[in-house]
Chain A
Amino acid sequence: MNIVIVGSGRTGAFVAELLDQAGDTVSIVDVERSAFKRLPALFKGSPVLGDGTDMDILRQAGVEKADAFLALTQGDNRNLMAAQIAKKIFGVEQVFAKVNDPIRANTYRGQGIFTFSRTTILGTLLHAVIKGDKTIGPNLMRAAMQHDAELSAELPSVTR
């Protein structure tokens, strides 16, 4: 799949790495060059420097051929604007936007954008684990913790 990600923060860079390893073609957009340091050394995708709400930058990132688009910057509104450009102007099939305000997330979910709120996802997950949910909670937690372990193992150990 061709995937465009806007925002190379912790989440953006992490998803970019997962998709890149899975063999997808990933472009990742960020206004800060230093944000690309979060990408792994062996990243095969393309970092694109620029504003992810700018149509020309998105074109440069290949939004016209993208199968999926993920808006993962720190700004809810920036994510919603980028996501709507991808959906309504470029007609990208699957569009995701990180929207931390649950109410705004819900409003735009009805507009064809897959919005998700870190607040409610994390809260729901923690609640499920604490209450002994047998399915979703433990599975998701296990997968997430495995990624944590992999990321830690990649760090070179310091010898004194």
Chain B
Amino acid sequence: MERPTWAPEDVNVERPSVARVYDYYLGGSHNFAVDREFAEQVMQAMPDAPAAAQENRAFLRRAVRYLCGLGIRQFIDLGSGIPTVGNVHEVAQSTDPTAEVVYVDIDPVAYAHSRAILANNPHATVIRADLRQPAGVLADPKLREHIDFDQPVGLLLVAVLHFVPDSDRPADIVAGYSGAIAPGSHLVVSHMGAEGLDSSQDQALGLYKRSSTPIVPRTADELSSLFGDLTLVEPGVVRLSEWRPESPDEPAARENPALAAVARRD
């Protein structure tokens, strides 16, 4: 059906939302019974799910710190979800309180909640947009109030690209962003891997597949190809826990097939 752009969407809290399910994995209570029910089903199939979520979150923290270390002071978190402990602005602003952060999410509840959290933060904001439309996201006036595209940007696509099916041309989406950012900008990606999946992980993916937000796992090669002409920084596309661990005893979910990578625009 051709939907006019001004037609409003339903806010349906009767269906699980990936953002709130993720919050539940992380031990948050920003979720509803329907989200918890779905999360429990996944956890029944794959008890490691919360650990994997934690590992992903830890990667986000390491990556943002890495970018801060490179002098990057502005971030766009695409598919940011429900704000939870260790948010990008918390990590970035702990390095520089004036670091600018723009969260982008399409989930109306996540968007409303993020606004409440960020109401008093002059250097962080949230916009509601579909990350699959880079031109629309980058043209958002609220985003442009915070982001200076002449300066390097940290662009985060953390645990979100695997919700974009091939039919939506994820490489074009990434290119849409990477083409708009200044040299020295970095793209941070974590993504469900397609290699070394055990039966419990397959089962969990099956649950997502039947939801309104199916997950498309991708191989390391497939993920690499999404970066286009960006340059992968060391150590390239690796498992989450292998991406620049902060200490040898970094807690790691065993056998987590999720992948991580950071790439630079030269």
- Co-assembled chains A and B: no
List B residues at the A interface (Cβ < 8 Å). none
